[in-house]
Amino acid sequence: MVSDNSHNPAEEVRIGFFICHCGVNIASKIDVAEVAKFAETLPGVVVSRDYKYMCSDAGQDLIVEDIKNFRLNRIVVAACSPFLHEKTFRTATQRGGINPFLCHMVNIREHGSWVAEDRVTATEKAKAMAQGGVGRVRRHVALEKRREPVLQSVLVVGGGIAGIQAALTLANAGKHVYLVEREPTIGGHMAQFDKTFPTLDCAACILTPKMSEVGSHPNITLWAYSEVIHSEGYVGNYKVKVRRKARYINEDECTGCMECVEHCSFKTGVVDDEFNVGLVKRKPVYMSFPQAVPKIVVIDPLTCAKLSGGKCEESCIPACDRQALDFTQTERVEEIEVGAIIVATGFKTFDAKRKPYYGYGDFPNVYTSLEIERMVTSSGPTEGEVVCRDGRVPKSVGIVHCVGSRDHQTNRWCSRVCCMASLKLAYLLKEHTGAEIYNFYIDMRTPGKGYEEFYERLLEEGNHFIRGRVAEVTDFAMRPEEENHLIIQVEDTLSGYVRRVPVDMVVLAVGIEPQADASVVRRLFNISCSDEGFFLERHPKLAPVSTATEGVYLAGCCQGPRDIPDTVAQAGAAAAEALALLDPGFVEMEPMTAYVENELCSGCKTCQTMCPYGAISNDAERKIAVINPMLCKGCGTCVASCPSGAIHQNLFDDQELFDEIQEVLAHA
Amino acid sequence: MATLEREIRFESDRDPEFAAQIRRMPGCENLNRCIQCATCSGICPLSTYMDMTPRRVIQLARDGFKADVLNCNTIWLCASCYQCQVECPKEIGITDVMYALKCKAIEAGIKPKQAAPQTLYREFYNLGTKNGRISEGALMVNTVIKTQPARFWSLKMLGLRLLRTGRFGWKIERMPQQSVLKAAIQATPPINGKESS
């Protein structure tokens, strides 16, 4: 092949070719020595070697030494996928003293030995690929990584335990945190729980100190009752708009004394109390719970007689001695700039009405686990007293596991926490009422520190465990002892009998599912969802808190069902990732971005609509496309779509690709 | 023609106190710990002959299905080899539970379908309390005469072989100090408030 090295014609191209055995991964299917010998004959190749493990220190040193000894200025490594070791070999190339982007990887493992059946053809294919790599590397030019400053603040979306933990970790490390929560208070689902498994710590006792720390931390700007409505920018430099909904309360004046709630024209609650999952009613002016952070009341405009335009005594206004009520308040939009974003938007519980044969909504004494959670709390609507809707204390309770989970008709996944949460509720219900507790389970899943021991404790305390998915909950009595009871029909697969178990109260352990607006949030931050709708991590094992979008991290149940210990650990990990991004003060961007050749661009905007990252804008004055290299991920879509051939991409230049193809075909 | 049998179990089929009663018997304290792993059924050399595997007996006993467990042949086929008890990951005294259930069955006047086991246990108990030692010859002869007298002569060859290999002896073994034995038996508290035999 005739060399026309455009970037520096004066320089003689001196290529080093290195082929890896990868133990037997490659060598068992490809005759690496033969490929190495073949590569030596290719034009420009000065040295060609094979080695057992190129990625080992010794293998890398081989490259470093050869660059020095043979004055190499191009490197081709035939080994595994660049996804695994491109960085390794680029670093080695750099250590040898030449620009790292003068190194090219040929994937003869995933694309070769692992998929080949025949040794001879696999070796031939490897030769062709090697020739292609050698053909294209001569066109490689030295590229520099771009550095951009990183803003030293972080946005945390969601104020549940995940968001709280992430925010506190970052704030304690000296970074400024904006914590945005949709509800009037932070705390999330954990604030609704009574005890936490398996240690039975009081949830409020361990959560509320963290909540107040968030409220008073000098590095945290807490915006509750607010929502992120817009986000743009790129890693290290995000611009975010937050809508702060009107509380109709002057936040600086309100002390949370609740006098206005006392004096509301409505003497009793008028609308379902969201915090107590509808077990009681609340007034239009309310505070979710006494330890709410921020400790500020909120007025619900839909039910407030004054705000909804009805007749009202307005007795709340004089009740407030600080004149904190402000019915003229409107929502406002705050604009902030942050370096990183942690998405911790949590989950919602499965709607038990979707399983009609469990009778939720039909039979008053069928409850969801979250309702029972509120009922057993001493600060809950019944002050910890467990009573059926008719006021009776239940003598027997059936807990139905896997409601909505492990079910192709609803949610296919295991919600992971319900077994342990059900065991905890079984314990608490027995403690509060002395009732006989029946657990109906498909499999008992108790993977965690102290979890199996907790299960054993429940077993030893004489709780009943019936293995079988409940078929139906009915009030149709077949026997005298079943009269005035809810009867749970199930096959106990362990005793081998179909059983009918009459109980006073049924608890449905509802599963965890993505928030209803997860797809909106997903688009907001340009992240992906997995099939079931939970946000998708970059790698399920090795990057579980990162997303495909640089600088956006995940924490908690928005990424998948998990319990509190795992959530806190993940939130810490997300905070650490954000810190690692912020702390150096700059980000290095890969140079394989697209760029526009201004003279050729006709300003047709085709590329603009194609770019999945919103990296291309239009320069109205010059009527040309402008690519923001910070946003460009190097996907190549614009390059392919440009009708004028005006867009090029570093490392994937047309000529580089054509040369590679030509050389591969030349071998074939 | 085989009749169709009801397999459903209502709450009235349960004795809610049964599990607690069993758990009060010696060796049965850990009954409720069972996670139904079925190691016991897998390792039991006789489980393939049983109408209910040991695992299922534990489950039913724990759930209070008294009639079902007391009428199964499992508790009588148990040869007390203790393999299940040795292997049980939750350290449940499974063989002890089997004994407890046998006691309960005898107490309830339930006769096993095969008469031999119950008689064998009674003869074993009688010999033990009378002499303080078990004499295999006497035990087997007494059991066979009381349960299958017609087969006594057909079993004689087996008996002779056992004699020749030293498995049997003619001698009635006795504890030297009978007074100590009597005192020991008198001092033993009855199980579950009753004599077990």
Task: Judge: A500–B11 Cβ closer than 8 Å, yes or no.
Answer: yes
User: Smallest CA–CA separation between B55 and chain A, in Å?
Assistant: 8
Q: Are A511 and A418 in contact (CB under 8 A)?
A: yes
List, for residues A449-469, the tens digit of each pLDDT value: 999 999 999 999 999 999 999
pLDDT at B111: 82
pLDDT at A1: 35
Q: Are B133 and B175 in contact (CB under 8 A)?
A: yes
Find the mean pLDDT for residues A653-667: 93
Find the mean pLDDT for residues A389-409: 96
In single-letter form, the type of residue at position B40 comes to C
pLDDT at B170: 80
Q: Which of A522-526, B68-72, B136-140 has the lowest mean pLDDT?
A: B136-140
Q: How far is CA A604 from the centre of its chain?
A: 37
CB nearest to A497's CB, from B8, B11, B36:
B8
CB nearest to A456's CB, from B8, B33, B68:
B33
Rounded-to-integer distance, Cα B118 and Cα B108, Å: 13
Task: Judge: B10–A494 Cβ closer than 8 Å, yes or no.
Answer: no
* Domain formed by A15-144, architecture: 3-Layer(aba) Sandwich (3.40)
User: Smallest CA–CA separation between B175 and chain A, in Å?
Assistant: 41
Task: Judge: A495–B59 Cβ closer than 8 Å, yes or no.
Answer: yes
Q: Are A320 and A259 in contact (CB under 8 A)?
A: yes
pLDDT grade, residue A54 (50/70/90)? very high
pLDDT grade, residue A9 (50/70/90)? low
pLDDT at B117: 82
List, for residues A58-108, the tens digit of each pLDDT value: 999 999 999 999 999 999 999 999 989 999 999 999 999 999 999 999 999
Q: Are A564 and A200 in contact (CB under 8 A)?
A: no
pLDDT at B191: 63
Please name every residue paired with B194 in a beta bridge, in sequence order, or none if there are none.
B191
Q: Choosing among A493, A497, A500, A501, which should be mutated to test the B contact, i.e. which has the most B CBs within 10 A?
A: A497
Find the mean pLDDT for residues A204-232: 96
Q: Nearest CA to B117 among B84, B54, B75? A: B75
Q: Are A149 and A117 in contact (CB under 8 A)?
A: no
Three-state DSSP class for residue A81: coil
List, for residues B80-109, the tens digit of each pLDDT value: 999 999 999 999 999 999 999 999 998 999
Neighbour-count burial for A253-289, b at 16+ CB within 10 Å, e otherwise: ebebebbbbebbbbeebeeebebbbbbeebbbbbbbb
List, for residues A117-173, the tens digit of each pLDDT value: 999 999 999 999 999 999 999 999 999 998 999 999 999 999 999 999 999 999 999
CB nearest to B12's CB, from A456, A481, A492:
A481
Please name every residue paired with A239 in a beta bridge, in sequence order, or none if there are none.
A232, A337
Task: Judge: A436–B16 Cβ closer than 8 Å, yes or no.
Answer: yes
User: Smallest CA–CA separation between A400 and chain B, in Å?
Assistant: 17
pLDDT at B184: 86
Using the predicted structure, report yes or no on whether residue B119 has a pLDDT greater than 90.
Answer: no
What interface predicted TM-score (ipTM) does this complex get? Answer: 0.81
pTM for the full model?
A: 0.84
Rounded-to-integer distance, Cα B73 and Cα B13, Å: 19
pLDDT at B196: 42
Q: What DSSP string runs through chain B?
A: -PPP---EE-GGG--TTHHHHHHTSTT-TTGGG-----HHHHH-TTGGG-SS-HHHHHHHHHHT-HHHHHTSSHHHH-----HHHHH-TT---HHHHHHHHHHHHHHTTPPPSSSHHHHHHHHHHHHHHHHSS--HHHHHHHHHHHH-GGGTTTTHHHHHHHHHTTS--SSPP--S-HHHHHHHHHHSPPBTTB---
Rounded-to-integer distance, Cα B181 and Cα B172, Å: 16
Q: List all residues of chain A from 472 to 501 with a beta carbon under 8 Å from chain B.
A: 478-482, 492, 494-501
CB nearest to B32's CB, from A462, A495, A501:
A462
Q: Which residue of A has its CA nearest to B61?
A: A495
Using the predicted structure, report yes or no on whether residue A643 has a pLDDT greater than 90.
Answer: yes
- Same topology, domains A15-144 and A153-244+335-346+515-582? Answer is no
Task: Judge: B10–A478 Cβ closer than 8 Å, yes or no.
Answer: yes
Q: Are A401 and A422 in contact (CB under 8 A)?
A: yes
Task: Judge: A500–B8 Cβ closer than 8 Å, yes or no.
Answer: yes
Residues in A closer than 8 angstroms to B32, CB to CB, are 459-462
Find the mean pLDDT for residues B47-61: 95
Residues in A closer than 8 angstroms to B55, CB to CB, are 494
Domain limits, chain A: 15-144, 153-244+335-346+515-582, 246-330, 349-513, 593-649
pLDDT grade, residue A278 (50/70/90)? very high
User: Smallest CA–CA separation between A405 and chain B, in Å?
Assistant: 22
pLDDT at A5: 40
Longest dimension (CA), chain B: 61
Token pair recorded at residue A127 = 């030769």
Token pair recorded at residue B25 = 């018997």
Class of domain A246-330: alpha beta
Q: Nearest CA to A457 among B32, B57, B22? A: B32
Task: Judge: A492–B63 Cβ closer than 8 Å, yes or no.
Answer: yes
Cβ neighbours of residue A440 closer than 8 Å, sequence gap 6 or more:
A398, A399, A400, A401, A466, A468, A469, A470, A488, A490
CB atoms within 10 A of CB A71: 13
pLDDT at A6: 44
Q: What percent of chain A has pLDDT over 70?
A: 99
Fold entry, domain A153-244+335-346+515-582:
FAD/NAD(P)-binding domain (3.50.50)
Token pair recorded at residue A118 = 């025949």
Interior CA angle at B91 toward B90 and B94, to 5°?
105
Interior CA angle at A468 toward A463 and A473, to 5°?
85
* Residue A645 burial (C-beta neighbours within 10 Å; 0-12, 13-18, 19+): exposed
List, for residues A170-198, the tens digit of each pLDDT value: 999 999 999 999 999 999 999 999 999 99
Torsion of CA A349, A355, A361, A367, to 10 degrees: -50
Using the predicted structure, report yes or no on whether residue B5 has a pLDDT greater than 80.
Answer: no
Residues in A closer than 8 angstroms to B56, CB to CB, are 494-496
* Domain formed by A593-649, architecture: 2-Layer Sandwich (3.30)
Rounded-to-integer distance, Cα A657 and Cα A79, Å: 19
Phi/psi for B88 (5° steps) reads -55, 120
CB nearest to A479's CB, from B12, B63, B65:
B12
* CATH H-level superfamily of A349-513: FAD/NAD(P)-binding domain (3.50.50.60)
pLDDT at A11: 76
Using the predicted structure, report yes or no on whether residue A49 has a pLDDT greater than 60.
Answer: yes
Rounded-to-integer distance, Cα B110 and Cα B103, Å: 10
